[in-house]
Amino acid sequence: MNATDTPLPDVLMAALPAFVLLILAGTFTSARRGDGRYRTRDTLANLALGGGYALISAAVGGVVLLVFSWLYSHRLFDLPMNAWWVWVLCFFADDFTYYWFHRISHESRWFWASHSVHHSSERYNFSVSLRQTWTGTLSGSFLFWAWMPLLGFHPAMVLFMQSVSLIYQFWIHTEAIGRLPGWFETVFNTPSHHRVHHGSDEEYLDRNYAGTLIVWDRLFGSFHAERHTPRYGLTHPVGSDNPLRIAFHEWIGIWRDLRRARSGREVWGYLFAPPGWSADGSSLTTQQLRARARATAASRQQPAKREGQPS
């Protein structure tokens, strides 16, 4: 089977009408209750970013397919598309890949520049799931999945499974659903787990990277249970509902930092080190923030010296 064969159905586009209806229903319900979960300008920005994402994906999707098709032509194994076990393997391979793509998107500023768009809303509702990057493909995010067609998964399967993952992740962007049964919370990503991921509270930063299965976070030490309602958004808010500003704010920040870089090491740091890295320590990464918090907590726990006690 060649990579140029008839592609699988575009399930993501098929799901868009349902997404829109659910967003409208959520907006209406929120307005009637007055709970503030939706804000008009924020929702409009989300829709604009989602529309731009769809247009850009359609425009550059051929490049992704071309790269995956070339890799598939050099595949190591023949994995038949009509075998159920290949689809099961494809699901786990895609979800595992998404976990590491998502984690690295929080740990490397180059990929964070695209992914930060999704975290920039200070609301948490269905419309936020459409708040997608315009630069993800251009920055090379699709290369995380390159190993799959090389191994033998048909490119159409890879792209189809990515769409299925995005559809799953739509419904977890809500505050309207609380905790689910324990067995489900143990295995799958849920609104509770993903609320933590969108939190800008220090204890919630860079947690719960899951796509569909939360088991990867539990396995690789990035899981954190929801203990309180998060404060949503970025640690340094964009402060704008302008889609252009939201889409490119972090790239502008990178350019600004590169202009004052004084060495190759600093250039590398501003491009690829964790978000918050700075040459002069004027801003801190998540790990540095946590280390400072631990040091502060430890110093507070030390018993006060008694008068006359030697130091």
Residue 56 inside a domain? The answer is yes
Count of domains for the chain: 2
Residue 264 inside a domain? The answer is yes
Same-domain pairing of 187 and 265 = no
Same-domain pairing of 52 and 158 = yes
| SS3 state at 190 | coil
Same-domain pairing of 256 and 215 = no
Q: 185, 220, 255 — which closes off a domain?
A: 220
Same-domain pairing of 27 and 89 = yes
Same-domain pairing of 112 and 163 = yes
If you ran DSSP here, which 8-state letter would residue 232 be given?
Answer: B
Same-domain pairing of 124 and 271 = no
Taking Cα atoms as reference points, which of 42, 130, 111 lies closest to residue 250?
111
Determine the structural domain holding residue 280 and report its residue range: 243-299
pLDDT in tens, the chain (311 residues): 555 455 677 898 888 889 999 999 999 999 889 888 999 999 999 999 999 999 999 999 999 999 999 999 999 999 999 999 999 999 999 999 999 999 999 999 999 999 999 999 999 999 999 999 999 999 999 999 999 999 999 999 999 999 999 999 999 999 999 999 999 999 999 999 999 999 999 999 999 999 999 999 999 999 999 999 999 999 999 999 999 999 999 999 999 999 999 999 999 999 999 999 999 999 999 999 888 888 888 888 876 554 555 43
Taking Cα atoms as reference points, which of 225, 219, 185 lies closest to residue 204?
225
Type of residue at 223: F
Residue 248 inside a domain? The answer is yes
What is the C-alpha separation between 90 and 85, in angstroms, rounded?
A: 8
Same-domain pairing of 198 and 72 = yes
Same-domain pairing of 205 and 274 = no
- 264-272 vs 243-259: helix crossing angle, rounded to 10: 160
What is the C-alpha separation between 180 and 182, in angstroms, rounded?
A: 6
Residue 310 inside a domain? The answer is no
Same-domain pairing of 24 and 125 = yes
Residue 232 inside a domain? The answer is no
Q: 187, 220, 253 — which closes off a domain?
A: 220
What is the C-alpha separation between 271 and 251, in angstroms, rounded?
A: 10
* pLDDT tens readout for residues 100-132: 999 999 999 999 999 999 999 999 999 999 999
Residue 309 inside a domain? The answer is no
Q: 164, 187, 220 — which closes off a domain?
A: 220
Instruction: Return the C-alpha torsion angle 190, 133, 229, 215, nearest 10.
Output: 30
Same-domain pairing of 117 and 193 = yes
Same-domain pairing of 207 and 134 = yes
Identify the burial level of 74 via C-beta atoms within 10 angstroms of its C-beta, where 0-12 means exposed, 13-18 middle and 19 or more buried: exposed
pTM (2 decimals)? 0.92
User: What pLDDT is stored for residue 295 in this prediction?
Assistant: 87
Same-domain pairing of 117 and 71 = yes
Residue 228 inside a domain? The answer is no
Residue 152 inside a domain? The answer is yes
